[in-house]
Amino acid sequence: VDQAEPCQSLVKEDVDSRTVVLKIRNESGSGFVLDGGWFNAGSWEGECPAVENGKVTEVVMQATDVAWGVSGLCWFVVDRPAHDVFLNVVFSNRPVGSGGFLCGLGPMRYNLQDDWYTCPALTAANGNKSKRHLDWQVTSVSGVLKVEVHIKSLPTPKGYQPDAPLLDDIPTDCYFGMYEEDGEPGLLAKSRPKDIVDGAWAGIGLAAGGAAAGAATAVATPVVMAKEKGVAGFFVGLVSGGVAGFAL
């Protein structure tokens, strides 16, 4: 046992190799600071730095679980009193697949999680974007997803559509996996079904989970009530537990 070698797929180096590295060159005349973020998987590597003007800032997101890689979104706000320009970023680097990335400069994107949900897998055709105020280009997709972002100038907030998606043509069959409303998982926080079969299996899974929860409630409630109030409590718990279990 002492001479046994650890499984290479489970060592920490392999987990951390699924990272997203952003090199942000800021020539806009103003700095940016992190305003918020959400991870479906993974976390920041250390503290997320400010994006200073006139410099190249490296921002790193790393995997914390070998099975899920790193995936999420974040947004930076311009460091000036108006706080009216945002750098909105969507990223994903899973153990399987080619990853995904989207980036936009403009007003706050309130539906940024929708962009994460519909972001397509990276290909040679969509691995870069060049616009008036912002360029970005994916330079590596093997293990470490590397993206160079160039903030050329700040857009004027007037005339921008507040909820314009980062992706112009949103596909209907692309998603990264788990979709959690507001970043909090719940009973119905499952991935969007890809087809009718996928939807049917999702429905069966939810029904089975509800039935199991209902059965556990129906059994546990009379036991707890009996401990608190004796025989009378048992029968009260039997009725209330049965009603609650049926509802679940």
Structure-block tokens of residue 77: 């706000």
How far is it, in rounded angstroms, from Cα 206 to Cα 213? Answer: 11
- Compute φ and ψ for 230, nearest 5 degrees: 75, -150
Does residue 55 sit in helix, strand or coil?
Answer: coil
Q: What is the pLDDT of residues 58-72, one digit of tens each?
A: 999 999 988 889 999
Cβ 137 vs Cβ 102: under 8 Å:
no
Beta strands in 3-79 (DSSP E): 19-26, 32-41, 43-44, 56-62, 70-78
Mean pLDDT of 113-126: 85
**pTM metric for this prediction:** 0.61
What pLDDT digit, counting tens, does each position of 209-237 carry?
Answer: 556 555 655 655 565 566 656 766 666 66
Which tens digit of pLDDT belongs to each residue from 129-176?
Answer: 888 899 999 998 878 999 999 999 998 876 544 445 555 443 333 333
Give the whole-angstrom CA distance, residue 101 versus residue 134: 14
Q: Inform me whether the pLDDT recorded for 10 exceeds 50.
A: no
